[in-house]
Amino acid sequence: MTVLIVEDERTLARELGIFLHQHSFTCTVARTAHEARAQLADTPFDFVLLDLGLPDGDGLDVLAEAKQNELTAAVIILTARGAVEDRIGGLELGADDYLAKPFSLPELLARMHAITRRRFGLHKPLASCGAFKLDLQARRVLHQGQEVSLSVKEFDVLSYLVLHKNRVMTRLQLTEHIWGNLPEAGFDSNYIDAHIKNLRKKLGQLADVEWLETVRGLGYRARL
């Protein structure tokens, strides 16, 4: 998943980026309200971690504008402004959660996982896909209790399709949400096709994977 970190404190922004990268998030940093607006207009992020005290404006104004522009990303406000009225203001504008600084990085991650479960209606720790179970927090795929060996990107592609089950996800959508706006060097859009092929091969050795559909001319769908 992709994350926009809106934070003007360079050290904190770097720590957040490193921590979330270690948990397989693709992060982009915006250090001003202007940069945040530009990023939000250009890229469909999954999460926005939003500081309020930005050097050129108030993060709440960025949030209000983004919501008016139909922002779909989950928003967590991270700020030193921990007064009740600030928290209420942020939540009323559409933020999904609020953490006052200083905060624990593992707690932030746990809240991101909780938001993901709520947004995708996951009521159990494991998500089902055919004969397989996905443990989104531990980033594992299980078949009859045994872990199936997948690469990082194979898991990312599979989990994104399962979270958006029964919806056609285009190659562009998958690319943006897994590689972000700045794909790694040498990126080729055919990588999505290659990962789907590998998933079918690895999972198909264990059980039926007809639910992993190709939608001709569009992309892929997990029909579950």
What pLDDT is attached to residue 73? 95
All domains of the chain in start order, with CATH: 2-120 (3.40.50.2300), 126-222 (1.10.10.10)
| DSSP one-letter code for 219 | E
Q: Tell me the backbone φ, ψ of residue 97, rounded to 5 degrees.
A: -165, 170
Cα–Cα distance, 106 to 47 (Å, whole number): 16
Per-residue pLDDT of 136-195, as tens digits, reads: 888 999 999 999 999 999 999 999 999 999 999 998 888 888 877 655 545 556 888 999
Q: Which two tokens stand for residue 104?
A: 């624990």
pTM of the full structure: 0.83
What pLDDT is attached to residue 181? 63
Per-residue pLDDT of 81-115, as tens digits, reads: 878 888 888 899 999 999 999 999 999 999 999 99
Place of tokens 């990312």: 156
Cα–Cα distance, 207 to 67 (Å, whole number): 42
What pLDDT is attached to residue 134? 94
